[in-house]
Amino acid sequence: MATATHIDAHAHDDHDHEHHETFITKYIFSLDHKTIAKQFLITGIIWAIIGAGFSAIFRLQLGFPEADLSWLRPLLGKWIQPEGSLDPQFYLALVTMHGTIMVFFVLTAGLSGTFSNFLIPLQIGARDMASGFMNMLSYWFFFLSSVIMFISLFLETGPASGGWVVYPPLSALPQAMDGSGLGMTLWLVAIVFFIVSSLLGGINYITTIINLRTKGMTFSRLPLTIWSFFLTAVIGVLSFPVLFAAALLLVMDRSFGTSFYLSEIYIGGEALPNVGGSPILYQHLFWFLGHPEVYIVLLPALGITSEIIATNSRKPIFGYKAMIISMLGITVLSFVVWAHHMFVSGLSPFLGSIFMFLTLIIAIPSAVKVFNYLTTLWRGNIVFTPAMLFSIGLVSVFISGGITGIFLGNSAIDIQLHDTYFVVAHFHLVMGAASSFGLLAGVYHWFPKMFGRMLDRKLGYIHFWFTFIGIYAVFFPMHYIGIAGFPRRYYSFTNFDAFSGFTDLNAFISVAAILTFFGQFIFLFNFFYSIFRGKKAPLNPWKSNTLEWTTPRVAGHGNWPGEIPTVYRWPYDYSKPGAEEDFIPQTVPFSETMDSNLPHENDMIAIEKEESASEIVVDGAKGH
């Protein structure tokens, strides 16, 4: 039995972590990747409630501009004007904070932070991350950044209000608007800490995947989740530093009198002394991060989906290699398309067509992935777990949102559509909804491993249908509104006659958005209730092949009580013809599955034998 006799390369760091753990080292300053993952998850959930709550408030204003919102006064205080409407400045602050929170705190930290941390060591067969200490630091920098951003919500002048992209000059001149004052400063400070956190995390993920894979876990046997986390981390390590540079220059402009982004500006008829800079420079630097960032948000969700769809279709993932290659393609391309966010910034039309070309190429790997999901589902023995439903939902919204991306990628069409609700619809479907679905799917799927208990299935189904229908009800109509010319980030449209025909549609969107927001409380209840009261989970509830299901129900620090298992095959041997069961875990050697082996797999048996033989010799020598 090779699994039992093999020698564990990491056995030396297997000392008893269990014995001297206090509450603080176990739950707060923990070095265990599983605890850190849960910390990221819970913090992300709290942010998600705040961020989604903001959107509910500003949708109220957009859908019912005439409504009396004084009942919100206990919560918002002076931000509700005396006549009962929302303060316009605060509306901008809400939109800005909604975007910032969702993109960075929920879908970057909450998604990557949770699942990269949780799954990388478990699925590659490692005891922990390469550096548990840096991993802990990564969480605490994120926490610090969260605290600063949270404090900025309560400022007299309000939080940052220049949009989540914080373009100068609006963000660079404190006198430009209330939200460009202290709120903006805190925003920048928080983002700098956030970048530090994500670099610490990303460097750790990459190194762990390269160095700590268990025996037999080659790159071509890695689950697609790990591939996606790996590439996400690579993107993050290369793009966040550029945002760092951009943010530092912005800090200089704001507080130290330089003019990197400022030139020839008049405020109240008076000229400012700043000359020589360019706000377009900021846009280039920002979108060099900004576009890769959308893939940082999306790729982990796609990886999670690959895993869940293959498991629950009881079929090998279709096109494993194609999946990897398309993710690699997306990674590379994501760095060379940023200027499609700047088609109408005065960019030279010639450059515009180059970026258009590069942008449209991304549709190819994206489509490859979509087709692979569909062909994996095709004629599978589909098990509709809540996780599976969310994964299928992800594929659906990814298609709907991806198609509008192709519209926007055309520089000529973008002149009409830029900064309208069409863009809002595009990225909420393809990024917001798709990644949130990935996050939720991941939670439903790995909850048993995280907490040792099951989530309630029925509540999961209700939650899914509520969310799925809600998302389309909110974002589908936005396409029409966008084509009709509604600009995004406007406080009110009542002054424009041209828009009066869409009042009902706007109200409809708002109702749908608020209902969908409340629908999420079903999930929240399910989540927190099941942590303590859920049904105890079996060891391998989804009959899955990957390594995490070979750990005990509640794994301690170090993950496997004995030796780390050895891997003999890829993770997608589902419904293999000739096999006894419809899944063969990665830890089962080919020599034990003679009936289902393919010809080239029979050849592997010799290698397996050779290896375990040499191990037994070593075992003898060591006197086991």
Partner 1 sequence: MATTATVGNKSLWAGGVAPLKASYGKLMMWFFLLSDAFTFSGLLIAYAFIRWSAPAYKGNPDDFVFSTEYWPIPEKVYDAFPGVHGQEWPLVFVGLMTFILILSSVTMVLAVEAGQRMDKKGVVKWMLWTIIGGIAFLSCQAWEWAHFISGSGVATIGDVFLNGRWVEDYEIMGAGLSFNQYGPPAFAALFFFITGFHGFHVFSGVVINIITFFNAANGMYEKRGHYEMIEKVGLYWHFVDLVWVFVFTFFYLI
Site for ligand HEM in 278-297 (CB under 6 A): 294, 297
Position 131 contacts partner 1 (CB under 8 A):
yes
Position 341 contacts ligand HEM (CB under 6 A):
yes
- Separation between Cα atoms, residue 296 and residue 447, nearest integer Å: 23
Q: Which of 87, 128, 253, 414 binds ligand HEM (CB under 6 A)?
A: 414
Q: Which of 211, 381, 500, 602 binds partner 1 (CB under 8 A)?
A: 211
Q: 371 vs 508, which CB is nearer to ligand HEM?
A: 371
Q: Which residue has the tokens 């000392």?
A: 15
- Separation between Cα atoms, residue 613 and residue 602, nearest integer Å: 17
Position 430 contacts ligand HEM (CB under 6 A):
yes
Annotate 341-359 with DSSP letters as a single string. Answer: G-TTTT--HHHHHHHHHHH
Helix axes 386-408, 457-483, angle to 10 degrees: 10
Those residues whose C-beta lies under 8 Å from the C-beta of residue 553, and which sit 6 or more positions away, are 452, 536, 537, 538, 539
Position 204 contacts partner 1 (CB under 8 A):
yes
Q: 547: how many CB neighbours lie within 10 A of its CB? A: 26
Position 427 contacts ligand HEM (CB under 6 A):
yes
Site for partner 1 in 304-333 (CB under 8 A): none
Q: 288 vs 447, which CB is nearer to Cu ion?
A: 288
Position 429 contacts ligand HEM (CB under 6 A):
no
For the bound state, the minimum distance from the C-beta of residue 478 to ligand HEM, rounded and expressed in Å, comes to 13
Q: 201 vs 365, which CB is nearer to partner 1?
A: 201
With contacts defined by CB under 8 A, name the span among 4-12, 53-61, 440-448, 497-505 that binds partner 1: 4-12
- Separation between Cα atoms, residue 12 and residue 167, nearest integer Å: 51
Beta strands in 157-308 (DSSP E): 266-267, 270-271
With contacts defined by CB under 8 A, name the span among 274-282, 298-306, 320-328, 342-350 that binds partner 1: 274-282
Position 351 contacts partner 1 (CB under 8 A):
no
With contacts defined by CB under 8 A, name the span among 22-30, 32-40, 213-221, 535-543 that binds partner 1: 213-221
- Separation between Cα atoms, residue 18 and residue 355, nearest integer Å: 54
**Which partner, Cu ion, partner 1, ligand HEM, none, binds residue 284 by CB below 5 to 8 Å per kind?**
partner 1
For the bound state, the minimum distance from the C-beta of residue 6 to partner 1, rounded and expressed in Å, comes to 7
Position 615 contacts partner 1 (CB under 8 A):
yes
Whole-angstrom CA distances from 338 to 288, 360, 437 are 5, 12, 25
For the bound state, the minimum distance from the C-beta of residue 294 to Cu ion, rounded and expressed in Å, comes to 6
Residues 347, 375: contact at Cβ < 8 Å? no
For the bound state, the minimum distance from the C-beta of residue 203 to partner 1, rounded and expressed in Å, comes to 5
Q: Which of 105, 142, 230, 244 binds partner 1 (CB under 8 A)?
A: 244
Those residues whose C-beta lies under 8 Å from the C-beta of residue 192, and which sit 6 or more positions away, are 145, 244, 247, 248
What angle is formed at CA 468 by the lines to CA 464 and CA 474, rounded to 5 degrees?
140
- Separation between Cα atoms, residue 168 and residue 365, nearest integer Å: 34
Q: Which of 111, 196, 362, 514 binds ligand HEM (CB under 6 A)?
A: 362
> 3-state DSSP call for residue 310?
helix
- State the DSSP H helix or E strand holding residue 620, giving kind and residue range, or none if neither: helix 599-622
Residues 504, 429: contact at Cβ < 8 Å? no
Q: Is 167 left (phi over 0), alpha (psi -120 to 50) or beta?
A: beta
For the bound state, the minimum distance from the C-beta of residue 225 to partner 1, rounded and expressed in Å, comes to 16
Binding letters toward ligand HEM, positions 371-410, x by CB under 6 A: -------------------------------x--xx-xx-
What is the token pair recorded at 147? 């605290």
What is the token pair recorded at 322? 């194609």
Position 340 contacts ligand HEM (CB under 6 A):
yes
Q: Which of 38, 254, 291, 557 binds Cu ion (CB under 5 A)?
A: 291
Whole-angstrom CA distances from 506 to 73, 120, 390, 497 are 24, 43, 27, 15
**Which partner, ligand HEM, Cu ion, partner 1, none, binds residue 208 by CB below 5 to 8 Å per kind?**
partner 1
With contacts defined by CB under 5 A, name the span among 83-91, 277-285, 290-298, 516-524 that binds Cu ion: 290-298
For the bound state, the minimum distance from the C-beta of residue 316 to partner 1, rounded and expressed in Å, comes to 21
- Separation between Cα atoms, residue 578 and residue 601, nearest integer Å: 14
For the bound state, the minimum distance from the C-beta of residue 259 to partner 1, rounded and expressed in Å, comes to 6
Position 426 contacts Cu ion (CB under 5 A):
no
Measuring CA to CA, which residue among 357, 116, 100 is closest to residue 233?
116
Residues 249, 261: contact at Cβ < 8 Å? yes
For the bound state, the minimum distance from the C-beta of residue 455 to ligand HEM, rounded and expressed in Å, comes to 26
What single-letter DSSP state applies at residue 86?
A: B
- Separation between Cα atoms, residue 204 and residue 132, nearest integer Å: 9
**Which partner, partner 1, ligand HEM, Cu ion, none, binds residue 546 by CB below 5 to 8 Å per kind?**
none
Q: Which of 213, 340, 428, 463 binds partner 1 (CB under 8 A)?
A: 213
Measuring CA to CA, which residue among 9, 105, 10 is closest to residue 50?
105
Q: 238 vs 406, which CB is nearer to ligand HEM?
A: 406
- Separation between Cα atoms, residue 301 and residue 298, nearest integer Å: 5
Compute φ and ψ for 558, nearest 5 degrees.
110, -15
For the bound state, the minimum distance from the C-beta of residue 598 to ligand HEM, rounded and expressed in Å, comes to 35
Q: 13 vs 595, which CB is nearer to partner 1?
A: 13
Q: Which residue has the tokens 């890829």?
A: 570
**Residue 80's beta-bridge partner residues?**
86
For the bound state, the minimum distance from the C-beta of residue 405 to ligand HEM, rounded and expressed in Å, comes to 3
Query: Residues binding Cu ion: what is the number (CB under 5 A)?
Result: 1
For the bound state, the minimum distance from the C-beta of residue 466 to ligand HEM, rounded and expressed in Å, comes to 23
Residues 468, 519: contact at Cβ < 8 Å? no
Q: 486 vs 583, which CB is nearer to ligand HEM?
A: 486
Q: Which of 245, 325, 364, 539 binds partner 1 (CB under 8 A)?
A: 245
- Separation between Cα atoms, residue 618 and residue 5, nearest integer Å: 10
Which positions lie near Cu ion, rule CB under 5 A? Answer: 291
Which positions lie near partner 1, rule CB under 8 A? Answer: 6-9, 124-125, 130-131, 134, 199, 202-204, 206-208, 210-219, 221, 237-242, 244-246, 248-249, 252, 256-260, 273-278, 281, 284-285, 288, 566-567, 607, 611, 614-615, 618, 621
Which positions lie near ligand HEM, rule CB under 6 A? Answer: 294, 297-298, 340-341, 359, 362-363, 366, 402, 405-406, 408-409, 414, 417-418, 423, 426-427, 430-431
